[in-house]
Amino acid sequence: MNTVMKRRALQILWPAFLMAGVMEALLFVVVDPSDLQWFGAAPLDWSRQAVYTVTFLLCWGVIATSGALTLLLIGKADEADCREPL
């Protein structure tokens, strides 16, 4: 992996990691993990730590995907601006 790819990965993953922690904290201030259910079925039979871990990883993945798409679209917009004069 070259330096540019490493830098971009860190530019996406580090802020996503921080925000996933904030999102999880905000979520579990309001929701008790033992009350979670799968679409109205029986409550999850997971430990609190498992629920926290899976929720954190899901938040991190969603936020990182958003950041990656943003970076991709910014790159495409910059390329388009260079080719076409205003």
Question: What pLDDT digit, counting tens, does each position of 41-84 carry?
Answer: 877 788 889 989 999 999 999 999 999 999 888 876 666 555 55
Q: What is the structure's pLDDT at 80?
A: 58
Chain centre to alpha carbon of residue 39 = 22
CA 60 – CA 16 distance, rounded (Å): 6
pTM of the model as a whole:
0.78
Contacts of 46 (CB under 8 A, 6+ apart): 33, 54
Reduced to 3 states (helix: H, G, I; strand: E, B; else coil), residue 45 is coil
Confidence of residue 19 (pLDDT cuts 50, 70, 90): very high
What ranges do the domains of the chain cover?
Answer: 47-86
Query: Is 40 a residue whose pLDDT tops 80?
Result: no
